[in-house]
Amino acid sequence: MQTIPRAVRGRRERGPSLHRSGQSPAAPTFGDAPALGVETLARCSGQALPTLESVPTSYNHEVHSELLYDFCAALVRCGVARPSQWKQAGENGNVFAQNAIREAITTARLDLLQRNLEYHLQIADVIEKYGYDRALESSELAVMITSGNCGYVEIGEALEALEAEETGLGAAFYWQFTYSLYRVMRIYNHDDAKMREEMLHEWAEQEEEESREQYEFPEVDKGLPECILKTLKGNSRHELRDRQLLLKHKSGKFGSWITRLRRIQRLARLYPKSGRDLGDGYYDSAPLPTLLVAFKEHDVICACFDEESQSMLEGSPEPALSIVFSPNDEDEVRKAKKIVERFVLINCELFQLVEEIQSWGNHERRDIDRGELSLRAA
- Asked if 246 contacts 173 with a C-beta cutoff of 8 angstroms, the reply is yes
Of 10 and 234, more confident? 234
C-alpha gyration radius of the chain: 33
Q: Which of 118, 121, 127 is nearest to 321 (CA)?
A: 121
pLDDT digits (tens, 9 = 90+) for 144-182: 998 888 999 999 999 999 999 999 999 999 999 999 999
Separation of alpha carbons 86 and 107, rounded Å: 20
What is the crossing angle of helices 300-309 and 190-205, to 10°? 70
Of all residues in the chain, the percent with pLDDT exceeding 90 is 50
Better-predicted residue by pLDDT, 40 or 262: 262
Cα–Cα nearest to 100, from 71, 124, 125, 120: 71
pLDDT at 218: 83
289 has pLDDT over 80: yes
Residue 183 and residue 268 in contact, taking contact as beta carbons nearer than 8 Å? yes
φ, ψ for residue 120 (rounded to 5)?
Answer: -130, 125
Beta bridge partners of 199: none
Q: For residues 172 and 248, what is the distance between their CA atoms, to the nearest angstrom?
A: 12
Angle between helix axes 239-248 and 169-182 (nearest 10 degrees) is 120
Instruction: With beta carbons less than 8 A apart as the criterion, state whether 291 and 153 touch.
Output: yes
CA–CA separation, 101 and 347 (whole Å): 16
Question: Out of 26-30, 36-40, 122-126, which region has the weakest mean confidence (pLDDT)?
Answer: 26-30
Q: 3, exposed or middle or buried, with CB in 10 Å at 0-12, 13-18, 19+?
A: exposed
| Long-range contacts of residues 80-88, Cβ cutoff 8 Å, at least 24 apart | 80/104, 80/337
Cβ(291)–Cβ(150) below 8 Å? yes
Long-range contacts of 213-222 (CB under 8 A, 24+ apart): 218/193, 218/300, 218/303, 218/304, 219/300, 220/190, 220/193, 220/194, 220/300, 220/301, 220/304, 222/300
* Residue 59's pLDDT band (cuts 50, 70, 90): low
Q: What is the DSSP letter of 254?
A: T
Q: Tell me the sheet residues that pair with 187.
A: 291
Higher pLDDT, 156 or 35: 156
Sequence ranges of the domains in the chain: 149-272+283-319+334-369
Q: Which has more pLDDT, 98 or 271?
A: 98
Give per-residue pLDDT as tens, 192-206: 999 998 888 888 888
Position 135 scores a pLDDT of 72
Give 91-116 as a DSSP string.
T-HHHHHHHHHHHHH-HHHHHHHHHH
Sign of the four-CA dihedral 346, 348, 354, 356:
negative
CB burial readout 231-263, b (16+ within 10 A) else e: beeeeeeeeeebeebbeebeeeebeebbebbbb
Is pLDDT above 80 for 364?
no
DSSP state of 154: E
What's the CA gap between 314 and 361, in Å, rounded? 34
What's the CA gap between 216 and 197, in Å, rounded? 9
Contact in structure between 356 and 257 (CB atoms under 8 Å): yes
- Look at residue 54 in the predicted model and tell me its pLDDT: 75
Identify the three-state secondary structure at position 20. coil
Whole-number Å distance between alpha carbons of 192 and 198: 10
- What is the DSSP secondary structure assignment for residue 285, as one 8-state letter? B
> From the CB of residue 288, how many other CB atoms can be counted at a distance below 10 Å?
22
Distance CA 87, CA 99 (A): 12
What pLDDT score was predicted for residue 162? 97
Q: What is the pLDDT of residues 102-140, one digit of tens each?
A: 999 999 999 999 999 999 999 988 877 655 667 777 789
